[in-house]
Structure 1
Amino acid sequence: MRTILKFFSIAMVLLLSSCSSGGDSDPGSDPNPNPDPDPNPTPTTVTYTNTISLVISSNCISCHGSTPTNNAPISLNTYAKVKTAVESNGLIDRISLPQGNTNMMPKDGTRLPQATIDKFITWKNNGYVE
Structure 2
Amino acid sequence: MKRTYLIYLLIVSVFYSCSYVNEDDLTEDVVIVDLVTYEANIKTIMDTNCISCHNSPPINGAPMSLTTFSDVKNSVENRNLIERISANDASVMPAGGPRLPQNLIDLVIQWETEGLEEN
TM-score (norm 1): 0.65
SS of equivalent residue, structure 1 residue 102: coil
Residue of structure 2 equivalent to 1:48: 38
Pairing 1:11-22 to 2, within 5 Å after superposition: none
Report the structure number with the largest CA radius of gyration. Answer: 1
Amino acid at match of 1:114: Q
Task: Report how many residues are paired.
Answer: 91
| Equivalent-residue separation in structure 2 for 1:57 and 1:44 (angstroms) | 22
SS of equivalent residue, structure 2 residue 100: coil
Show structure 2 runs of 5+ residues with no match.
1-27
Residue of structure 1 equivalent to 2:92: 104
The 8 Å contact of residues 66 and 77 in structure 1, kept in 2 or not, is answered as yes
Higher percent of residues as helix:
2
Pairing 1:1-130 to 2, within 5 Å after superposition: 43-98=33-88, 101-130=89-118
Show structure 1 runs of 5+ residues with no match.
1-36
RMSD in angstroms over aligned alpha carbons?
1.7
Q: Once superposed, which parts of structure 1, at least 4 consecutive aligned residues long, lie more than 4 Å away?
A: none
Structure 1 residue 43: Cα displacement? 3.8
Residue of structure 1 equivalent to 2:24: none
| Equivalent-residue separation in structure 2 for 1:128 and 1:90 (angstroms) | 14
Amino acid at match of 2:51: I
The 8 Å contact of residues 48 and 128 in structure 1, kept in 2 or not, is answered as yes
TM-score (norm 2): 0.71
Amino acid at match of 1:88: N
Identity over aligned pairs, percent: 46
Larger RCO (CA within 8 A; separation ≥ 6): 2
| Equivalent-residue separation in structure 2 for 1:53 and 1:79 (angstroms) | 8
